[in-house]
Amino acid sequence: MTLINPYNFVPLKAQEPKRTKGYPGRLRFHELCFTGVLECTLTALSPIVTLDQRDYSLWKLRDRDGSLLRNRKGREYKEIKVFRFLRDSLGNPILQGTSLKGMIRSIYETITDSCLALAATLGDSIKSRDSIIYYEYADLGSFRRSECLEIQRLCPACRLFGTIGGDDLHCQGRVVFNDAILVKPGLVESRCYLKELSNPKPHHFATYAGGKHKAQGAPIRGRKFYYHQGPGAKFHVEEHESNDRSIAIDEYADVGSEFCFRVYVENLDKEELGKLLLAIELYEGLGHKVGAGKALGLGSCSVSVDKTKSRISTPNAWYGDWSVKDAPHWYTLKANEGEIPDSLVELLRLNKPEDGSIEYPPGKHYPSVPIDALGVFGGNAVAGKRPEGPVQRASTPLQVQPPATSAEEEAAWLKEIHEDTLIFVALDGRELRRPKRGYQGSAKLLRVGEWFVLSGTICVKPVTY
Ligand SMILES: [Zn+2]
């Protein structure tokens, strides 16, 4: 079976980040900017784990017969830490707002080609328990965070999410994330011994370096993201298979768990709000990662914005119209103002496990062959884009009038059929992705260039003329 590395990179663009817009400040609401609150729901698509670092217990590992577990040399293992799920002061299981902000910022940075806020291009890397190795990559140039120096010349992500630069630059973010609280069901209470998680290995140039010359001084490969491993990812081992380089957990949020949180936004222009909505919701069929154990397949999730409960407005329209609309004007900005690059789509795809086995290679040493753009060791894909194109594609938009639909339905034009996805264009121009298995009708009726009715989240029905 094809072996796929648990993570890969989105290459940096050739052009430098756009630092052309000034910072709007927080002293007053600007006439054409959006302010308000987004009500969001995060749904777990693989188990989610957060570690309460304040409250852990220690445990001596045991073998199957109940005796203390020993390594191959007969030495007893040290005690390992056993964590509970993080909770707020009221006892609610939570995902911290800072984690959510980091999760969304990394996507926003990628779709806006912003600076790399967290990249370290040189330093010490832990090669093994008692061996440290120095690594150094080429300078990031205009993608360095230190290039975001002046408040009126910030990259799009620093401008929206905020940045601090010594004594001279204090730019407060205009987007605030609350903690996400678990609303249903409860946590699963079960002792799990997590598979061993090693430190990042930036000295491994075959994986981390871009270009052909993979050695000290090479450019970095890009922005790092972890692949989704599906709802059944095997993230734990039996106690007798564990060791003292790992940890254990007593609780996790299972697949299907729902967390609710709010995102407060202030003075966002159209482009910023549209791209933020895209970074939060993504396209259908893509997912985020949050919490611990991303390399083990933990933390996959989707986020949706409740359009009717959210309150977003420009200052002049704040009290202008109390009517509740199905698709508020501000929400349509999501489709108009942004696009997710192919290489990121490939990395966030929820059906990635269909391509192969996503795990670190067996054995002690990482292979020295590089991974390709699809994460395959020794593979030869050069673009981070699923190789196969659409099975069918309509050449020109349909001129036939869209059908009348009821309140909870939406008419959409079928533009492309892929192996597992249908791509529609809604009346307002938004591109919508629906799983092909959601189609309700005979396969013969599924034709590109025709109108269909969308009902609920996945159901697609042919229009009956
Ligand atoms: Zn920046």
- 265 pLDDT band (50/70/90 cuts)? very high
Cα(140) to centroid of ligand 1, in Å?
Answer: 12
Cα(144) to centroid of ligand 1, in Å?
Answer: 7
Cα(148) to centroid of ligand 1, in Å?
Answer: 5
| CA trace torsion 362, 368, 372, 377 (10° rounding) | -30
Residue 366 predicted with pLDDT over 80: no
Cα(145) to centroid of ligand 1, in Å?
Answer: 5
Cα(265) to centroid of ligand 1, in Å?
Answer: 19
Question: What pLDDT digit, counting tens, does each position of 286-324 carry?
Answer: 999 999 999 999 999 999 999 889 999 887 776 665 555
- 10 pLDDT band (50/70/90 cuts)? very high
Cα(143) to centroid of ligand 1, in Å?
Answer: 8
Task: Write out the residues surrounding ion ligand 1, Cβ under 5 A.
Answer: 115, 148, 155, 158
Residue 229 predicted with pLDDT over 70: yes
Cα(339) to centroid of ligand 1, in Å?
Answer: 20
Cα(253) to centroid of ligand 1, in Å?
Answer: 34
Cα(161) to centroid of ligand 1, in Å?
Answer: 9
Dmax (CA) for the chain in angstroms is: 77
Q: Please state the length of the chain.
A: 465
Cα(44) to centroid of ligand 1, in Å?
Answer: 30
Cα(334) to centroid of ligand 1, in Å?
Answer: 22
The percentage of the chain sitting over the pLDDT mark of 70, rounded to a whole number, equals 94
Cα(47) to centroid of ligand 1, in Å?
Answer: 32
CB 275, CB 338: distance < 8 Å: yes
Residue 327 predicted with pLDDT over 70: no
Q: Is the peptide bond before 397 cis (omega within 30 degrees of 0)?
A: no
Cα(154) to centroid of ligand 1, in Å?
Answer: 6
Cα(277) to centroid of ligand 1, in Å?
Answer: 20
Cα(22) to centroid of ligand 1, in Å?
Answer: 13
Range picked from 132-146, 195-209, 383-397 for highest mean pLDDT: 132-146
Range list of β-strands (E), 129-247: 131-136, 163-165, 169-171, 175-177, 180-184, 188-194, 223-226, 236-237
Which of the pair, 445 or 148, is modelled with greater confidence? 148
Res 188: pLDDT: 96
Cα(261) to centroid of ligand 1, in Å?
Answer: 26
Of the ranges 73-77, 138-142, 345-349, 368-372, which one carries the lowest mean pLDDT score? 368-372
415 vs 332: CA distance, rounded Å: 19
- 125 pLDDT band (50/70/90 cuts)? confident
Which of the pair, 438 or 255, is modelled with greater confidence? 255
Cα(191) to centroid of ligand 1, in Å?
Answer: 41
Question: What pLDDT digit, counting tens, does each position of 154-170 carry?
Answer: 999 999 999 988 788 88
The arithmetic mean of pLDDT across residues 123-132, rounded, is: 81
The arithmetic mean of pLDDT across residues 93-119, rounded, is: 95
Cα(391) to centroid of ligand 1, in Å?
Answer: 40
Cα(343) to centroid of ligand 1, in Å?
Answer: 21
Cα(163) to centroid of ligand 1, in Å?
Answer: 7
Chain centroid, CA 339 distance in Å: 15
Which of the pair, 128 or 228, is modelled with greater confidence? 228
Which of the pair, 330 or 190, is modelled with greater confidence? 190
Domains of the chain: 3-358 (no CATH), 392-462 (2.40.50.140)
Res 165: pLDDT: 83
Cα(379) to centroid of ligand 1, in Å?
Answer: 33
The arithmetic mean of pLDDT across residues 396-409, rounded, is: 77
Give 383's contacts (C-beta < 8 A, 6+ positions apart): 342, 343, 373
Cα(49) to centroid of ligand 1, in Å?
Answer: 30
Number of neighbours of residue 325 by Cβ within 10 angstroms: 10
Cα(164) to centroid of ligand 1, in Å?
Answer: 10
Cα(174) to centroid of ligand 1, in Å?
Answer: 14
Q: Mean pLDDT score of the chain, rounded to an integer?
A: 88
Cα(300) to centroid of ligand 1, in Å?
Answer: 27
Residue 326 predicted with pLDDT over 50: no
Question: What pLDDT digit, counting tens, does each position of 30-81 carry?
Answer: 888 899 999 999 999 999 999 999 989 999 999 999 999 998 888 999 999 9
Residue 349 predicted with pLDDT over 50: yes
Res 324: pLDDT: 52
Its pTM stands at 0.82
Residue type, 94: I
Res 389: pLDDT: 64
Residue 390 predicted with pLDDT over 80: no
Cα(111) to centroid of ligand 1, in Å?
Answer: 13
Cα(307) to centroid of ligand 1, in Å?
Answer: 30
Number of neighbours of residue 443 by Cβ within 10 angstroms: 8
3-state secondary structure of 452: strand
Res 455: pLDDT: 76
Cα(41) to centroid of ligand 1, in Å?
Answer: 28
State how far the alpha carbon of 284 is from the alpha carbons of 1, 278, 280, 340, in Å.
27, 11, 12, 12
Cα(272) to centroid of ligand 1, in Å?
Answer: 15
Residue 379 predicted with pLDDT over 90: no
State how far the alpha carbon of 269 is from the alpha carbons of 157, 336, 342, 413, in Å.
13, 13, 25, 30
